[in-house]
Structure 1
Amino acid sequence: MMRMRKVLMPVAVLLLAVSCRPKNQELVNLPDGSTDVVTYEMEGDSVKTGRYSNGGLYYRSVKRSGLSGYVETEAMNYYPSGGLRKYALFLNDSLRFFRFYTPEGKVEDFGGNGLIYLDDETQYVDTLQTFHQSFQQLRLAIPPHCVARVIVGDEVADEAARPDSLPLELLPMKENVSGFLVSFPVEGEYNKVIYWSLQDTLANHIQKGRVWRKFVVR
């Protein structure tokens, strides 16, 4: 019995330590194989941060109101060295965009749509009345150190041979929001193409895509 007690005591102590950890703390695995205790705290209702035991930033997320009642959440994880490890953007609980970085700051993996409410290589159809003005708001995922660009124009069969009479327009950006205004005086179908790009100025990496909008005017 004494031998069994010596084996069980460390396990009991470990379980007690885990159960006594505050709910705002989490044991995390570090890239070098070690572990650390991260402490989380809320800043108001929208910002959540997590810090390593040495005070360095481990996690930060920011929630904001999105389109059509959605909640947009930007979440970032950091290496113990302070470099960005992961960037992700969610609509409610659905992942729409992500990037992983190496400890040296290079983009290791990425996926999702820069235009977070639209899927790349997809055509969306809107129905409008003649002379009705409709603002097409576009929201982007913009990781740190990235420059976002959005360009819109009439769809053409061959982009390389786009005529001067149908120029592309570089849209203004404010934070992660862009957009363009449409209004058509004549009934018919009108097609627009939207190009987006994200240029990471530190990692020397460019990600881009496009979507189409068809406007049926009656």
Structure 2
Amino acid sequence: MKKLLRNVLRSSWVQRAVGFFAAEWLRLVWLTNKFSFDPPDIYEIVEPQLPAIFAFWHGQHFLTPFIKTKESHRAKVLISRHRDGEFNAIAVERLGIGTIRGSGDHGGAFHRKGGVGAFREMVQALEQGYNVASTADVPKRARVAGMGIIMLARESGRPIMPFAMATSRFIRLHNWDRTTINLPFGRGALVGIEPIIVPPDADAATMEKLRAALEANLNEATRRACAQVGRPEQAGHG
């Protein structure tokens, strides 16, 4: 039975159907939630610094395609090669975002999961004027920022833009990253925290300091986004 279910989920028609439904569901959520922006002029602040690396916590990622508000805001997002990644890739491409397939893991599975190729592709995308979006967590360790995005910023010379999005109505899954499924007809908040710049000559100590700063900034963005939609009890947990 498990094998049959696994084969069904891997079939292209099921993946396309799920991806299509997910994209249209997220579009409904975005259109029916009244969003606030913190700071209010966040787009005016960010635009002169594009292209940039947009960082967010895993499990808060579903509405991130909608931060792209103009056709000139070209963007690509890093998505894993895992089966679940196929659904995500189909959904975000339907929402007008390009995909880079691979792992953000810089541990022992980095080569096996396509991490080297994905890293190179992200650098090239930034050089070509695309914004690049990626979760910041170490895989399977929620709310622990990895070194991958810091390395990407050092190599590309582009700023990291930490941000969080939250809605007042949601369903939370009991998985490793406590995934939030946003619901329509409520309030939403997008919070951006000051950019992080990684010098091209940053040594290990500097990179660790900036990694910790990214982690703290993402937690603060999450706390503020949750508080603004009336979810202070969830602050720090998406």
Q: TM-score, normalised by structure 2?
A: 0.27
Task: Please tell me whether Structure 1 or Structure 2 has the larger radius of gyration of its CA atoms.
Answer: 1
User: TM-score of the superposition, structure 1-length normalised?
Assistant: 0.28
**Structure (1 or 2) with the greater helix fraction:** 2
Q: Which has the higher contact order (CA 8 A, sep 6+)?
A: 2
